[in-house]
Structure 1
Amino acid sequence: MSDLLDELVEAAHYLASLGLSPGTTGNVSCREAGTIFLSGSGTSLDSITRDQFATIRGEELSGPKPTKELPLHSKFYDLNPDATCVIHLHSPSAAAAACLAPWTDYSTLPPLSPYLVMKVGNIPLVPYEHPGSPTQAAGLSRIAYPFDSVLLQNHGSITCGTVSQAVERAIEIENASDVYIRLAGMDPRPLTPQQCDELARKSHRPWGEQDYRSR
């Protein structure tokens, strides 16, 4: 197994140390040369080791039983061919925000600070289905906006990219969710559409209908 898996193990421990993966919640994967390494069912990200990852090559599966969220990980890789990592967390504030009505179709969270747009961009809300549902994974293809991060309704967040990008996006989603929840019942002032577009363009992020990732 590669150094990429070592990097992912270290990232999993880091996310758990921040309190973003309580108990056995959350799952992570990385992809290299057509092989996906996916955390096993029932593993804890705070103590996960290399040998607790299932190995998936096409239809072949070896090692521990993979997490039931395999369909979501596979679909994220299908939709983001350059991604080498997918991270799914039940971090507290993001899970709470996923229980609220979305701000818009393309972003569950309002842009209350520049960093949501700069680090994440679009983060649509995926309608609820039971964990592990293959139809929920298939539904990702029906999202009308460019994205590489989502919130799953009443569930949690998913991000992808390189290992470091996926980690950074997961942390920013948690931070942005926390700010949003702290402002509940108030009248917060989000960034303007023009400000968001400028930030997305400079940071090569998707926002609204615009996809600046490859520009």
Structure 2
Amino acid sequence: MNENKQREEIVLLGKSMYDRGLTHGGTGNISVRLEDGWLLTPTGSSLGRLDPARLSKLDWQGRHISGDLPSKEAMLHLAMYQERPVSGAVVHLHSTHSVAVSVLDDLDPEDVLPAITAYYAMRVGKLPLVPYYAPGDPALAEAVRRFSSQHHAMLLAHHGPVVAGSDLHAAVDATEELEATAQLFLLLFQHKFRTLKSEQVADLQRRFAKR
């Protein structure tokens, strides 16, 4: 897919997520890998009102090449790409239910959400909780780096999900699955409920490779 098409895809999927309430205001950011660098949504931009011509373009040292100034979370995205060379896109949202889960007490920091559905097990899998750092703090990017070699999805404490995918559609699909599962979990967690058995999760992961 050429760069112009990638720019259009960022705008289209950004607006789709914004219109469905998965992000709000100027929160969240999207990036896509290119042959000669990568695209990132600009700082302070709304995912519902992106301009394809004004998206930030950066090189693999994180230097700004063109477009508006990049999101302050640029180093977080770069860490994911550097540790996951197969990833073609990264989505980071402040989606309501995922953030709500990220502030609950007594979470398992190695695997925040249970495998409630097959599609969560297939598209997200094991979800670690990244300790809190201020947005844009270089320490946050380094924390993401430590997790990303083993995980394509993670939840930032008091902040929101970060999800990498083979392409932008895969990253968005997994992000939406994570948010839907977070909502289900919040509906269920005060009640007794069943999760998929460990052997069922293992079978799904054998059948469907993580994106």
Whether the 8 Å contact between 1:27 and 1:88 is mirrored in structure 2 is yes
Q: Of 39, 42, 61, which aligns to 1:40? A: 42
1:86 is aligned, of 80, 83, 90, to: 90
3-state SS of 2:91 partner: strand
Q: Match for residue 209 of structure 1?
A: none
The equivalent position to 2:25 in structure 1, one of 23, 26, 29, is 23
Give 1:102 shift: 6.6
- Number of residue pairs aligned between Structure 1 and Structure 2: 206
Counterpart for residue 114 of structure 2: 110
1:75 aligns with 2:79: yes
Counterpart in the other structure of 2:190: 185
Per-residue CA distance 1:127-180 (angstroms, 9 max, x = gap): 100011111211233339721111100110111111110110110011000000
Question: Aligned in 2, Cα 1:63/1:102: closer, same or farther, shift over 3 Å?
Answer: farther
Partners of 1:45 and 1:169 lie apart in 2 by 18
Farther-moved stretch of structure 1 (104-113 vs 128-137): 104-113
Aligned-pair identity (%) = 30
**Backbone CA RMSD of aligned residues:** 1.7
8 Å CA contact 2:80, 2:148 repeated in 1: no
Query: In structure 2, how many angstroms separate the alpha carbons of the residues matched to 1:143 and 1:65?
Result: 27
Shifted more, 57-66 versus 78-87: the winner is 57-66
Aligned match for 2:169, one of 157, 164, 175:
164
Q: TM-score, normalised by structure 1?
A: 0.89
Shift of 1:105: 4.2
**Inter-partner Cα distance in structure 2 for 1:163 and 1:7:** 8
- Give per-residue Cα distances to partners, 1:169-203, cap 9 Å, x unaligned: 11001100000000131122211111111111111
1:174 aligns with 2:141: no
CA distance, structure 1, for counterparts of residue 26 and residue 109 of structure 2: 30
Q: Does 1:14 align with 2:16?
A: yes
Say if 1:197 and 1:129 are closer, same or farther in 2 by CA, change over 3 A: same
CA distance in 2, matches of 1:102, 1:198: 28
In structure 2, what is the equivalent of residue 208 of structure 1?
Answer: none
1:102 & 1:159 partners in 2: Cα distance? 23
Match of 1:52 among 54, 67, 90: 54
